[in-house]
Amino acid sequence: MRLRERSNAKTMRDRLVWQAASLLLAYPDPRLGARLDTVEELLGHAGGAPAGLLDRTVAALRARTPMDAAADYVATFDMRRNCTMYLTYWTAGDTRNRGREMLAFAAAYRAAGAQPPRGEAPDHLPVVLEFAATVDPRSGRRLLAEHRVPIDVLRGALADAESPYEHTVAAVCATLPAGTDLDLRRAERLAREGPPAEAVGLQPFTLTVPPRRREGAAHVQ
Q: Residue ranges per domain, the chain?
A: 1-193
Looking at CATH, the fold of the domain delimited by 1-193 is given as TorD-like (1.10.3480)
State in Å, rounded, how far the first CA of the chain is from the last one. Answer: 43
Q: Which residues contact 196 (CB under 8 A, 6 or more apart)?
A: 92, 93, 94, 95, 97
| pLDDT score at 98 | 80
For each of the chain's 221 residues, which pLDDT tens digit applies? 465 666 688 889 999 999 999 999 999 999 999 999 999 999 999 889 999 999 999 999 999 998 999 999 999 999 888 899 999 887 776 666 788 888 999 999 999 999 988 889 999 999 999 999 999 999 999 999 989 988 998 999 999 999 999 999 999 999 998 766 666 676 667 666 666 654 444 343 344 444 455 444 433 33
